[in-house]
Structure 1
Amino acid sequence: MALGHNLDDMAQSILMNFQKGEVERSIRLAPHTENPIDGIAPRIVPLRWIPEQEIHAHAICQGLPIHHGDCPHAPGAMRQQSRGIVAQMESMTPGARHGLLHSLDEIPQNSPRDREKSYGRDSKMRRVRRGDKQGSLSGLHDEEMASRDGLGGKK
């Protein structure tokens, strides 16, 4: 399936999903022809690195019809807020949209094998994420403090 999302659409979607803590939704957004996701048709997104303004300018130069109306659901929608934030980020830090998209591409897919490559079976970060006492940040701090104070923590 080919999607027509451009760079601005992708950056806005990534930001919205991150704001809501829905990273998994962002992973499902983008091209996944090499690593298909069960239950989702393989997708390509050929315009994802092209800014909306460039696509608009190209359409005008080619004499293509352009729809200028807003989506009827746009007023008050989270996308409107994200559109403004992404535009502000881009004006303050040129390349911010590309940075958001590159960040998405760097997220390991949610397979146990890829997670293990990222965190290792028993790495400290993985234990912190699981909330194990020995792996929790407070647990590490408590052990270090007890050891330093001679109260019997790990040495």
Structure 2
Amino acid sequence: MTAHKKYNNLQVEIVDYKPAHQEAFKSLNEEWISTHFTMEDSDYKVLDHPQSYILDKGGYILVAVYNSVLSGVCALIKMSDGEYDFELAKMAVAPAVQGKNIGFLLATAIIERAKSLHASKIYLESNTVLKPAINLYHKLGFKKVAGKPTPYARCNIQMELVLK
């Protein structure tokens, strides 16, 4: 299944991840994490090896291309905890194009992908200092939930989206 949707009024295309996107996937995420927090071992594992940590385990990564430039990424990580089907993770938009609705388009596309896979619940972890991201998640219908164990020291909020 290929995501290849063009949003004409924005010159944004949402496409499936290819190995050629790995460096951008890593650098976009490193940029936002390093701006607000500290990169952690769990970040490096996923960002250095998205094929084995996300894709080979039944997950997906979508990429936003804005005016022909790779400008955003978002992952859907398969979960096996019995409660959630996927985790929305590693969403990043280049600072130069933030505020252009690219994060919303990426998140909407990743949620649509989860729905197409018959997912019933999506989980995410974030930090409340990331106000635009938290506002986006609320706008998409995510609700705050209490505490699953997390590998990230920076996580201070966990949310879920019920699809069914």
TM-score (norm 2): 0.24
Kindly indicate which of the two structures has a greater share of residues assigned to strand: 2
TM-score (norm 1): 0.25
Bigger Rg, structure 1 or 2: 1
- By relative contact order (CA 8 Å, sep 6+), the higher-ranking structure is 1
